[in-house]
Structure 1
Amino acid sequence: MKGIAAAHGIHRVTVSQVLERTGTAKRPHSMNPSQVDTAARLYEEGLSLASIGTRLGFNATTIRAVLLRRGVATRDSHGRAQ
């Protein structure tokens, strides 16, 4: 919402209010337990953080953070264990 607000020169709360008033779905603030389970499974199957993020609607940084909190061992950008 910050990006939308900045692009239009309005406050982010205004953007939020317009989205609520029009019934437009907003991106969730965090992943639910089922999404974390799915992310862990997909990562362990070999998918990249970016592709998991695209599939679940979150960025790669968020996916990495939840996987680390879950205790999932991460790979480097070449697929090697870290």
Structure 2
Amino acid sequence: MVKLAEQYGLHRNTVEAHLRRAGVAKRPMVKMTPRLVERATELYIEEFWTTARIGKEIGVDASTVAKALKRAGVKMRPPVAEHGDSA
């Protein structure tokens, strides 16, 4: 909904209302449970996964992963350039 709102210049709540009226079902919201935070921490620290990769794995946005890791006291690495960026 956030991406649609940005694309069409609308507020996220407006997009949500349009989708609800059109009968579009929302995906269930994945909560960062203690177990998911533990798993995300393992992947981030031990496997050196990015927050984006972890997010795709568990079904949440990279920013959600980053916030959960920070709250758990994980020292965050500096961001890396995306594929396709020139160095």
What is the TM-score when the length of structure 1 is the normalising length? 0.64
Deviation string 1:25-79 (CA, Å, 9 cap, x unpaired) is: 832252111111000000002000000000000011000000000000000124x
CA distance, structure 1, for counterparts of residue 76 and residue 50 of structure 2: 10
Match of 1:44 in 2: 45
CA distance, structure 2, for counterparts of residue 75 and residue 29 of structure 1: 24
Kindly, what percent of the aligned residue pairs are identical?
28
Letter in 1 for 2:43: L
- Divergent runs of 4+, >2 A: 1-4, 11-18, 24-30
Q: 1:2 to 1:15 in 2, by over 3 A?
A: farther
Letter in 2 for 1:28: M
User: Which structure: greater helix fraction?
Assistant: 1
CA distance, structure 1, for counterparts of residue 16 and residue 26 of structure 2: 15
With CA pairs under 8 Å and 6+ residues apart, which has the higher RCO, 1 or 2? 2
Match of 2:57 in 1: 55
What is the TM-score when the length of structure 2 is the normalising length? 0.60
1:72 aligns with 2:69: no
